């Protein structure tokens, strides 16, 4: 008895791994018909009943082999046309399906096991001719930032009689997709760059091309040709390149408040991610309006951080980032596209899961900063403690910009008027963001309080 139970358990595990699905209703019907025909054949000894019973056995065996061959002789290739995307933009994939067998396939059903919302890859391929490649593209609107797993693709196929269905996980169909937070192009961000404080000249070599040339040296492989100093090259009759130092301008630090408990709004609403798709598709095809953000303060704060980082980096400022999430996201100030990519990679995955109050983040990060630093403070906190510390930083010579995400507009029952009043009283440039606001209009318009 124990042997039978063990054998049954092994067969059951093998059945589950095979992806084999049996249509019991039709199979039992055939079994009943076969049993009747077999009894009639034995009772009457007529050839017609023997032949019909054999035919049913052959049909069942042929259906089983057809379904198995159909799923095993199928090949799918998956290519990420855009392995990185942004919220509000479209990511695209290219699929190529081929029937590698000699028998046409009646149907192949494809389903995706990924975790990206709104990513609809599943489809049914019908009437696939052998040895012919079928290609199609799938375009998905990115509504949520983060790192997502796409795939694997699961293919299903069966026989013409609908008796057997086989599922198969297709190899090499898993992909990774990074969706960056949205960035809004700002024509201007007050205060203008000309009013921001500069720093002392820092005699620190940099691989970036700046306006400060510190000297020359011999060319080494990998140096850009725009660094060549032609007068010295002609004088010494060998390639001489210029060396640069960092500009005497102040770094910009973005301090992002991701303390658990201060953020409000809806983090996940399936209906929201599936609505207004036609409108957003039109926006991505040329309209200048901002695509709608997820209705929570965390998304608005992260989008503001990404937008401000892009603005200053586009204007050749060195930008750093520190956040109070659980992992304490941190990036030293740097310039260029590489720094923008690094910051967007970090902001794509941050969550409001930290336990550190914003005032402690300010104290910890500014302890070793010099006074020429420009601080962009982004928070949804209604607490006044961080504002008092911000006033102290301003008296010490820091240049402050505050972006306050008004959580009361996202459903939090807190009055933000005292917070805004304290910021105005301290003379801190403040932008107040509310749910549904056009970030481009708020951050580049005259809506800041001074």
Which pLDDT score, from 0 to 100, does residue 166 have?
87
pTM for the full predicted model: 0.79
Rg, Å, the chain Cα set? 32
Pairing of strands 374-379, 399-405: parallel
On the question of pLDDT at 422 being above 50, the answer is yes
Q: How confident is the model at residue 194 (pLDDT cuts 50, 70, 90)?
A: very low
Dump pLDDT digits (tens) for 80-107.
998 899 998 899 999 999 999 988 899 9
Model pLDDT, residue 361: 95
Given pLDDT bands bounded at 50, 70 and 90, which one contains residue 154? very high
Q: Between the CA of residue 137 and those of 8, 90, 122, 156, 286, what are the distances in Å?
A: 44, 12, 12, 20, 21
The CATH class given to the 249-444 domain equals alpha beta
- Which run of H or E residues covers position 127? strand 123-128
């192009």: which residue's tokens?
Answer: 185
Question: Domain spanning 13-180 has what CATH number?
Answer: 2.60.40.10
Burial 337-372 (b: 16+ CB within 10 A, else e): eebbebbbebbbebbbebebbbbebbeebbeebeeb
Residue 361: alpha-carbon gap to chain centroid: 27
Contacts of 182 (CB under 8 A, 6+ apart): 86, 87, 88, 145, 290, 291, 293, 303, 306, 307
Taking residue 61's Cβ as centre, other Cβ atoms within 10 Å add up to 10
Structure tokens at 401: 């910009």
Tens digits of residue pLDDT in 234-261: 888 888 887 765 555 678 999 999 999 9
How would residue 12 be classed by pLDDT, with cut points 50, 70 and 90?
A: low
Higher pLDDT, 305 or 117: 305
Residue 450 banded pLDDT, cuts 50, 70, 90? very low
pLDDT at 323: 97
pLDDT mean over 282-302: 74
Q: How far apart are CA 94 and CA 281, in angstroms?
A: 19
Confidence (pLDDT) at 245? 59
Give the pLDDT score at 447.
Answer: 44
Domains of the chain, by residue range, sit at 13-180, 205-245, 249-444
Which pLDDT tens digit goes with each residue over 338-394? Answer: 999 999 999 999 999 999 999 999 999 999 887 778 999 999 999 999 999 999 999
Cβ(346)–Cβ(258) below 8 Å: no
């Amino acid at each position: 008895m124990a042997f039978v139970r063990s054998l049954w358990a092994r067969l059951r595990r093998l059945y589950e791994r095979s992806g084999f699905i049996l249509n019991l209703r039709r199979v039992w019907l055939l079994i009943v018909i076969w049993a009747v025909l077999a009894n009639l054949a034995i009772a009457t000894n007529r050839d017609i009943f023997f032949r019909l019973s054999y035919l049913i056995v052959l049909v069942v065996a042929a259906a089983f082999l057809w379904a198995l061959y159909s799923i095993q002789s199928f090949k799918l290739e998956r290519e990420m046309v855009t392995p990185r995307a942004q919220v509000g933009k479209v990511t695209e994939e290219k699929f190529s399906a081929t029937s590698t067998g000699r028998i046409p396939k009646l149907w192949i059903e494809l389903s995706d096991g990924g975790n990206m919302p709104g990513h609809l890859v599943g489809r049914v391929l019908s009437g696939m001719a052998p040895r012919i490649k079928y290609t199609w593209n799938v375009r998905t609107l990115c509504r949520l930032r983060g790192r997502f797993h796409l795939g694997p693709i699961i293919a299903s196929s069966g026989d013409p009689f609908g008796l057997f269905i086989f599922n198969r996980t297709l190899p090499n169909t898993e992909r990774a997709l990074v969706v960056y937070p949205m960035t809004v192009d700002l024509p201007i961000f007050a205060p203008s760059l000309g009013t921001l404080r500069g720093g002392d000249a820092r005699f620190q070599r940099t691989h970036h091309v700046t306006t400060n040339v510190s000297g020359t040296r011999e060319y080494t492989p990998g140096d850009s040709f725009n660094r060549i100093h032609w007068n010295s090259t002609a004088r010494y009759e060998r390639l001489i390149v210029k060396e640069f130092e960092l500009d005497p301008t102040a770094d910009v630090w973005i301090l992002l408040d991701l303390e658990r408990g201060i953020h409000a709004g809806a983090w996940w609403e399936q209906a929201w991610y599936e609505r207004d798709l036609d409108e957003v598709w039109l926006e991505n095809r040329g309209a200048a309006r901002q695509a709608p953000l997820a209705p929570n303060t965390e998304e608005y704060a992260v989008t503001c951080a990404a937008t401000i980082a892009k603005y200053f980096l586009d204007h050749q400022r060195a930008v750093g980032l520190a956040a109070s999430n659980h992992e304490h996201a941190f990036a030293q100030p740097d310039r260029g596209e590489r720094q923008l990519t690094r910051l967007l990679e970090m902001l794509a995955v941050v969550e409001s899961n930290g336990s550190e109050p914003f005032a402690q983040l300010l104290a910890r990060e500014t302890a070793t900063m010099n006074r020429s630093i420009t601080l962009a403070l982004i928070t949804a906190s209604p607490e006044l403690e961080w504002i008092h510390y911000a006033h102290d930083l301003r008296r010490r010579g820091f240049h402050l910009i505050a972006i306050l995400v008004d959580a009361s507009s996202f459903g939090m029952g807190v009055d933000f008027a005292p917070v805004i009043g304290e910021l105005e009283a301290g003379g801190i440039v403040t932008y107040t963001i509310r749910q549904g606001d056009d970030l481009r209009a708020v951050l580049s318009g005259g809506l800041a309080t001074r």
